[in-house]
């Protein structure tokens, strides 16, 4: 029997990364990059830990995947991320020439689409994969954050 890896499988892995971020007090966003059904990069937000506003899950995953592949272009790869990428991440994804991005929850305030951002013309977007789970994790994080302050 062949193992079929679908978008939900990879998004669950991205959600596991988001849970790690949550436990570390980071905004719970996780990302994985796959190629040919294999995860080659995993990351979660580390902006607080690294004291770096650019340490978004997507940026860290792009760097890890590029290092794994030995080049700056992410041909044949797919990014799975729990929240729609921001404008900064969309720019990096544009330059990486990644052909496919799958995200869970939209970000109506800071997502690339709300900011007028563009992705590479050959990049295909799939939105809403496990949106409920990703949204609930983000809501739980911000409720907890408000209650601490």
Q: Cα-flanking dihedrals φ and ψ of residue 98, to 5°? A: -65, 130
Active site residue 58: yes
Which residue has tokens 């290092």? 67
- Find the catalytic residue in 19, 58, 133, 136: 58
> Could you give the CA distance from residue 72 to residue 133 in angstroms, rounded to a whole number?
31
Query: Could you tell me where the DSSP H helices lie in 1-149?
Result: 7-23, 47-50, 57-69, 87-96, 131-148
Chain centre to alpha carbon of residue 90: 11
Number of CB atoms found within 10 A of residue 109's CB: 8
Q: Are 133 and 104 in contact (CB under 8 A)?
A: yes
Q: Are 73 and 64 in contact (CB under 8 A)?
A: no
Q: Cα-flanking dihedrals φ and ψ of residue 146, to 5°? A: -65, -35
Which residue has tokens 């983000």? 138
| 89 annotated as belonging to a binding site for a ligand | yes
| 77 annotated as belonging to a binding site for a ligand | no
Residue numbers belonging to the annotated binding site: 56, 86, 89
Residue numbers belonging to the annotated binding site for Zn(2+): 56, 86, 89
Catalytic residues: 58
């Amino acid at each position: 029997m062949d193992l079929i890896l679908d978008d939900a499988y990879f998004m669950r892995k991205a959600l596991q990364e988001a849970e790690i971020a949550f436990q570390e007090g980071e905004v719970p966003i996780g990302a994985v990059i796959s190629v040919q059904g294999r995860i080659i990069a995993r990351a979660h937000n580390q902006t607080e830990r690294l004291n770096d506003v650019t340490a978004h899950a997507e940026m860290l995953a792009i760097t890890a995947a590029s290092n794994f592949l030995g080049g700056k272009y992410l041909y044949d790869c797919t990014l799975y991320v729990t929240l729609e990428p921001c404008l900064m991440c969309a720019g990096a994804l544009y330059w990486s020439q990644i052909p496919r991005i799958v995200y869970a929850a939209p970000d109506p305030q800071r997502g690339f689409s709300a900011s007028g951002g563009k992705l590479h013309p050959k990049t295909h977007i799939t939105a809403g994969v496990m949106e409920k789970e990703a949204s609930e994790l983000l809501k739980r994080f911000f409720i907890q954050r408000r209650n601490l302050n």
